[in-house]
Amino acid sequence: MKRLAVYCGSATPADPIYIECARMVGRTLAGRGIGLVYGGGRLGLMGAVADAALEAGGEVIGVIPEALVNAEVAHRGCTELHVVANMHQRKQLFTDLSDGFVTIPGGVGTMDELWEAVSWSQLGYHDKPVGLLNAGGYYDHLIAFNRHMIETGFIRAQHAGILIHADNFDTLLERMAAYEPHDTIFRMKAANL
């Protein structure tokens, strides 16, 4: 994996565990020579992950919609900053520029990005690993809900391994590196759907 898209919030929660998680992710990626592709903002977890990667000498590629350049205060210190027309183009460029996706704590926008990466993987728009870092138990309920969707049959058995999760970032990266693409919906016969 040469580059990973990191999905995270532009907010700064009161609990410092989340900002430290973002910093650790940025430092770790840079230390492993893995480029960071992220939302292009300089506030909250977005800014923390980018700043930490830059401080550690890493490549940082920001992708931000034109309408959010001022709202998210675009990070002008990125190695590259792509300003795109809308959120659809942002997510497509994340997919085009990265070899996988890592979600760390965030809100609604982060969830939108995570689930789209999972959905696109199921369908066959990409075959890249989708990781979820469960920092401080933040995603315990989401992991349980994903398991519930699998158990009830709304996620097919062959797609149950798309969402890779771990509480430790090194473990998550190892699991993502070992990811084997699954049978996509585009390649399945109607009888198997």
Strands of the sheet with 101-103, listed across from one edge: 80-84, 60-65, 35-38, 3-7, 101-103, 130-133, 163-166
Q: What is the sign of the dihedral through the CA atoms of 105, 7, 52 and 89?
A: negative
Please calculate the CA angle 20-101-59 and round it to the nearest 5 degrees: 65
At residue 190, the pLDDT reads 62
Task: Check if the beta carbon of residue 81 is closer than 8 Å to that of residue 62.
Answer: yes
CB neighbours of residue 136 within 10 Å: 14
- What CATH number is given to the structural domain containing 64? 3.40.50.450
Number of domains in the chain: 1
* pLDDT: which is higher, 187 or 5: 5
User: Could you read off the pLDDT of 17-36 as tens digits, one per residue?
Assistant: 999 999 999 999 999 999 99
Opening angle at CA 171, ends 48 and 14, nearest 5: 30
Q: State yes or no: pLDDT of 83 exceeds 80.
A: yes
Predicted confidence band at 183 (pLDDT cuts at 50, 70, 90)?
Answer: confident
What is the domain extent for residue 47? 3-192
* CA atoms of 92 and 88, how far apart (whole Å): 6
pTM for the structure as a whole:
0.94
Mean pLDDT confidence for 167-189? 91
Q: Which of 140, 128, 130, 136 is CA-nearest to residue 168?
A: 136
Average pLDDT score over the chain: 95
CA-closest candidate to residue 172, choices 95, 122, 102: 102
Confidence of residue 182 (pLDDT cuts 50, 70, 90): confident
Residue 59: is its pLDDT beyond 90? yes
Q: For 64-77, how does the pLDDT look when each residue is reduced to its tens digit (9 = 90+)?
A: 999 988 776 899 99
